[in-house]
Amino acid sequence: MSVSTEDYVAISDGLGRYCWMLDNADEDGWIGLWREDGTLLGLGPQPIVGREALRRVSQKFGEYAGRRRHLACNLFCDYGESRSVIDAKFYNFVSHWGDTGGEASLFAICEATFVREDGMWLISRNMLSLLGMPKQQ
């Protein structure tokens, strides 16, 4: 079932924050978008589970602050098992901006689950299917 306009805007806003916070090394802000037991899959062979483990992801991306940019696009959302769960699908395009200009770094197909807690939509799970791997820069 398609989500309400209000919920769609909230998820879209959350994904914008996800990108901006990760790209600008706002570690606490990015971690705050996840549930305590949030799970990120697809970056490596093992799931990354929980805010402390996710913090290490944020720290790694923080090394590229100001040079790496995420763009979440083509978002569509449906309610999951209740109106407190949203299943979202979107693309995440990552580019790297260095001394020689910009270049594509990574493209991921993302399937995320958001859960409403205390009036906020938090990421419960984000499954990435990577179509390109980041270059070591």
b/e code 93-125 from CB counts within 10 Å (16+ = b) = bbebeeeeeeeebbbbebebbbbeeeeebbbbb
Report yes or no on 135 lying in a domain: no
Report yes or no on 24 lying in a domain: yes
Helix residue ranges per DSSP H, 24-86: 27-31, 51-62
Question: What is the mean pLDDT of the segment spanning 35-41?
Answer: 98
Return the minimum-mean-pLDDT range out of 10-19, 65-74, 111-120.
65-74
DSSP for 82-127, please give it: STTEEEEEEEEEEEEEETTEEEEEEEEEEEEEEEEETTEEEEEEEE
Task: State the CATH number of the domain containing residue 56.
Answer: 3.10.450.50
Six-digit token string for 52: 């402390």
How large is the angle between the packed helices 51-62 and 5-23, nearest 10 degrees? 60
What total of structural domains would you count in the chain? Answer: 1
Report the pLDDT value the prediction gives residue 67, as an integer from 0 to 100.
83
pLDDT at 7 over 80: yes
Report yes or no on 120 lying in a domain: yes
Q: What is the pLDDT of residues 88-112, one digit of tens each?
A: 999 999 888 876 667 777 899 999 9
Report yes or no on 47 lying in a domain: yes
Question: What is the mean pLDDT of the segment spanning 32-56?
Answer: 96
Cβ–Cβ under 8 Å, residues 33 and 21:
yes
Report yes or no on 137 lying in a domain: no
d(C-alpha 30, C-alpha 35), whole Å = 11
Report yes or no on 114 lying in a domain: yes
Full residue range of the structural domain in which residue 74 is found: 5-130
Report the pLDDT value the prediction gives residue 132, as an integer from 0 to 100.
64
pLDDT above 70 covers a percentage of the chain that reads 93
Mean pLDDT of the chain: 91
pLDDT at 124 over 70: yes
Report yes or no on 136 lying in a domain: no
Report yes or no on 33 lying in a domain: yes
